[in-house]
């Protein structure tokens, strides 16, 4: 069976944090529990994907010279939506998550060097769930990085939730309502566009 068999929408989840029971992983579980979807799950830390080496092979042919992400890219292009959950490290993503994002260079090259417009035909919504130690790490830098990538991957950032104060004790219920509301918005986008 294909991951997109037409029954329920298929959502790719990408976790960027090292802890399976961490704050961003918890947000992801709560968010996806509200959706009537099938999940294709990836962990940046568990994947071991290599970082981009700027070899520029993707300027010559569609794809990447390294094949370690071939399955990921096939899923990324096929799914109906994407949910990214990550802690904020120094205003951005942890290194394994950043490695995945940098490998999206293949789509930039497909568009601007190989003339494929758009490199991915299917339009997909994205939800970004971030956990941050302080309010200074508001997710703006991470969001801007994703928006640049999404202009060439036919994605739309439709939801962003930032859970602050993870370096100190906090009340999870403070963000519960926002998670439920944003999950409902994301689900509505899927219903209209699936």
Domain ranges of the chain: 10-193
Indicate the burial class of 154 (C-beta count within 10 angstroms; 0-12, 13-18, 19 or more).
Answer: middle
Report the b/e string of 67-102 with b at 16+ CB within 10 A: eebeebbebbbbbbbbbbbbbbbeebbbebbbbbbe
Q: Which residues of the chain have pLDDT under 70?
A: 1-6, 134-137, 165-176, 194
Q: Residue 194 has what pLDDT?
A: 67
Is 63 within 8 Å of 105 (Cβ atoms)? no
Q: What is the chain's length?
A: 194
Per-residue confidence (pLDDT) for residue 1, from 0 to 100 = 39
169-183 per-position pLDDT tens digit: 554 445 667 788 888
Give the pLDDT score at 181: 80
Strand-pair partners of 160: 128
pLDDT for the residue numbered 6: 62
Distance from C-alpha of 74 to C-alpha of 31, rounded to nearest angstrom: 24
Query: How far apart are alpha carbons 43 and 139 in whole angstroms?
Result: 20
CATH number for the domain running over 10-193: 3.40.50.360
Percent of the chain at pLDDT exceeding 90: 50
83: β partners:
13, 127
The mean predicted confidence, pLDDT, of the chain is: 86
**Residue 173 confidence (pLDDT):** 47
């Amino acid at each position: 069976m294909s991951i997109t068999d037409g029954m329920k929408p298929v959502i790719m989840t990408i976790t960027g944090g090292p802890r399976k029971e961490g704050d961003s992983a918890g947000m992801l579980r709560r968010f996806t529990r509200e959706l009537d979807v099938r999940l294709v799950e990836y962990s940046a830390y568990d994947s071991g994907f290599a970082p981009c080496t700027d070899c520029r092979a993707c300027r010559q042919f569609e794809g990447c010279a390294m094949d370690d992400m071939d399955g990921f890219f096939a899923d990324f292009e096929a799914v109906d939506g994407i949910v990214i959950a990550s802690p904020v490290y120094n205003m951005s993503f942890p290194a394994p998550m950043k490695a995945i994002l940098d490998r999206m260079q293949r789509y930039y090259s497909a568009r601007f060097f190989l003339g494929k417009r758009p490199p991915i035909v299917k339009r997909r919504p994205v939800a970004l769930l971030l956990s941050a130690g302080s309010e200074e790490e508001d997710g703006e830098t991470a969001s801007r990085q994703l928006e640049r990538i999404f202009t060439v991957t036919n994605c739309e950032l439709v939801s962003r939730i930032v859970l602050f104060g993870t370096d100190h004790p906090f009340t999870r219920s403070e963000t519960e309502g926002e998670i439920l509301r944003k999950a409902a918005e994301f689900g509505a986008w899927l219903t209209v566009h699936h």
